[in-house]
A and B are shown apart, each in its own frame.
Chain A
Amino acid sequence: MQPVTSSVSSSVKPKSKLWKSISTHRYLYMMLLPCVIFFLIFSYIPLGGLLMAFKDYKFNAGILGSPWVGLKYFEAFFNSYEAKQLIRNTLIISGIKLFLYLPFPIILALMFNEIRSKWFKNFSQSILYLPHFLSWVVVMGLTQRILAPDTGLLNEIIAKLGGDGSTFYMMEANYFYQVMFSSFVWKSIGWDSIIYMAAIAGVSPDLYEAAKIDGASKLREIWHITLPSIAPTVVILFILSLGSILSAGFDQIYMLRTPGNMHLADILDTYIIKVGLQQGQYGYATAVGMMQGIIGFILVILANRISRKVSDTSLW
């Protein structure tokens, strides 16, 4: 008897303490409650909706009532003639954005770091940050116009210089990667350089002084002091961005897609929208999206672990 009563009394005591604590925090709970309900509805219910990936969704039966189909949709996707091309396109485009793009904002930050004139620096930075705040719709509107055949700005200039001037850049598959990459750099480079500039500002001036005494040139200073000092920042940012390798940037690619470059510009995101929202193959599109999500999730977890090991910094 003895042990039981003692265990009851000891379990009641913290419980009443808990209740007391909950009631003293009642205002905080009231402030938190709508938030919890929100995420429950708008994030967790769609997670439950992933069941659709394994079901033959019937409108009348609802998600729970529809019959199971197992892994049919996953098999169908990997057996489809499009799968290979979609995955390849997605990896190429996001690969370009992750790897090829990486040095660009770093170089811009190094360039800004050499500017001594304060007003010139502020002024040019203001201009270079601006595209970050425009939507891809606007950026693609500009791009379409500047690259238009004959009357577009680029073609006019080429014609003035004695060139052909009738190239339809947006339609020709040959130019797809160039247009995709340059519009991406145009939109992001200024903004992305901010974080590297902060890292450069954190480098100890003593190091530069020492280098100056040793007679190091500017370029050697950058190579031997600045770059090694900001390397941890670069590594972390890069590792963290790996999680997005299967999403190549829906907005830009959707706007950039034309009949001429479709075989290069069809990516997983545009495919999901096409088969899901436009053709109504809900279960199938959910399965493709789920596969994309799971791979992204695993990559983020892995990246975070590596980042913690390599640099002692991590997202959580």
Chain B
Amino acid sequence: MGNEFYKLSVGEKALKFINYMLIIALCLSIVLPFLNILALAFNAGKDAESGGIYFWPRVWSLENFEKVFESTNIASAFGVSIFRTVVGTFAGVLLTAMAAYALKSKTLPGNKFFMMFIFFTMLFSGGIIPTYMLYKSLHLLDNIWIYVLPGLYSAWNLIIFRTFFQQIHVSLEESARIDGYNDFSIFWKIVLPLSRPVIAVIALFTAVGHWNDWFTGAFYIRSEELRPLSTLLQEMLLSAEALRDTLTEAAGVANYERLAKIQVTANSLKMATIIVVVTPIILVYPFVQRHFAKGAMIGSIKE
């Protein structure tokens, strides 16, 4: 590689250099804001107000995190997020894969009709208000199962699963049938174990979707303790009122003297919350990152 480099013309060398520099700059544009937020989250809030904090805290403090956990519903929000991510992903992936396997069978009477029936839902939906009305009549509003039930099946994932299952060799299934397996046990004991890569990818994307969804918690849930992490953060970012309440709470009920004493500020609380929300994703990301990139390709095969 080194030799090759010396053979290049000056112009090409310059181009190469610029190319590397631009990519490094792009990477920095992603890493540096995170470092900045991290530094602010670990810096005493009142001190940060005077500015000048870049990528390292000036006055170290864990108070932001303490106050966030004391005075907001972040603990229960964490629980809600974990619950919906685990249960929603597990049930959703399993059920969708099962239906996709059934629809893979070319001999199944009505196969084409069912595919159209499902595919159509990707093109046209009733929209937000009729969906809201449906949830209302199903008593799903302000109910924790609203995070799981409407996401049990995904037409898009179903099509990806089906495409994958179609590539599994029929002879495997045929020989299992001779051994006395029924369709369900073939799916469970043969098809699922063979499909680990595609299951991993779809499970990861489903899990990220669950973790990141703030909309459901913001518009279909009323009780504070049923809100997931991302909704909690969204409210902190958009509503000054929610923040003021949190701050007063942090100081003890409307105790202005104590309010003057505590070191946290609206901004420092926000920073700590952002860190709490992204930490699980950042921790898991390096390990699953390869699957994700593969996932982009699976999605594109369809297109």
Which A residues lie at the B interface, using CB under 8 A?
Answer: 18, 21-22, 25, 27-32, 34-36, 38-39, 41-50, 52, 63, 108, 111-112, 114-117, 120, 124-131, 133-135, 137-138, 140-142, 144-146, 148, 150-151, 153, 156, 186, 189, 191, 194-195, 198, 217-219, 236-237, 240, 250-251, 255, 272-273, 276-277, 282, 285-286, 289-290, 292-294, 297, 300-301, 313, 315-316
**B119: nearest chain-A partner, CB-CB:** A316
A31-B184, A43-B121, A47-B130 given. 19 additional CB < 8 A pairs? A28-B101, A31-B98, A35-B99, A46-B130, A115-B19, A115-B23, A116-B4, A117-B1, A125-B293, A128-B27, A129-B293, A130-B285, A151-B51, A251-B214, A272-B127, A273-B219, A276-B132, A289-B129, A313-B303
Which residue of B23, B30, B126, B214 has the most chain A CB atoms within 10 A of its CB atom?
Answer: B126
The interface residues of chain A, by DSSP majority, are classed as: helix
Among the listed A30, A131, A290, A300, which residue makes an inter-chain contact with B127, where contact means beta carbons less than 8 Å apart? A290
Do A111 and B99 touch across chains, with their CB atoms under 8 A apart?
Answer: no
Give the 5 A-B residue pairs with the shortest CB-CB distance, closest first. Answer: A46-B126, A49-B130, A135-B212, A289-B127, A35-B99
Q: Which of B153-197 contact A (CB under 8 A)?
A: 153, 155, 158, 182-184, 187
Do B219 and A30 touch across chains, with their CB atoms under 8 A apart?
Answer: no
**B132: nearest chain-A partner, CB-CB:** A277
Separation of A44 and B116 alpha carbons in the complex (Å): 13
Do A49 and B134 touch across chains, with their CB atoms under 8 A apart?
Answer: yes
Do A272 and B184 touch across chains, with their CB atoms under 8 A apart?
Answer: no
A28 in contact with B105 given A145-B40, A315-B303 (CB within 8 Å)? yes
Complex contacts, A135 vs chain B, CB 8 Å:
211-214, 230
Among the listed A31, A49, A255, which residue makes an inter-chain contact with B101, where contact means beta carbons less than 8 Å apart? A31
Separation of A41 and B275 alpha carbons in the complex (Å): 38
B152 on the A face (CB < 8 A): yes
Complex contacts, B150 vs chain A, CB 8 Å:
42
Among the listed B99, B127, B158, B289, which residue makes an inter-chain contact with A46, where contact means beta carbons less than 8 Å apart? B127
B122 to chain A, nearest CB (A): 9
Separation of A300 and B120 alpha carbons in the complex (Å): 12
A276 to chain B, nearest CB (A): 5
Among the listed B27, B48, B118, which residue makes an inter-chain contact with A124, where contact means beta carbons less than 8 Å apart? B27
B19 to chain A, nearest CB (A): 5
Do B130 and A129 touch across chains, with their CB atoms under 8 A apart?
Answer: no
Tell which of B31-39, B59-67, B69-77 binds the partner: B31-39
Do B126 and A43 touch across chains, with their CB atoms under 8 A apart?
Answer: yes
A28 in contact with B126 given A141-B270, A142-B34 (CB within 8 Å)? no
Do B130 and A25 touch across chains, with their CB atoms under 8 A apart?
Answer: no
Do A32 and B130 touch across chains, with their CB atoms under 8 A apart?
Answer: no
Do B285 and A133 touch across chains, with their CB atoms under 8 A apart?
Answer: yes
Separation of A125 and B12 alpha carbons in the complex (Å): 23
Separation of A67 and B125 alpha carbons in the complex (Å): 23
Complex contacts, A46 vs chain B, CB 8 Å:
125-127, 130-131, 133-134
Separation of A46 and B63 alpha carbons in the complex (Å): 47
Do B124 and A47 touch across chains, with their CB atoms under 8 A apart?
Answer: yes
B234 on the A face (CB < 8 A): yes
B3 on the A face (CB < 8 A): no
Separation of A159 and B284 alpha carbons in the complex (Å): 37
Complex contacts, A131 vs chain B, CB 8 Å:
30
Complex contacts, A195 vs chain B, CB 8 Å:
296-297, 300
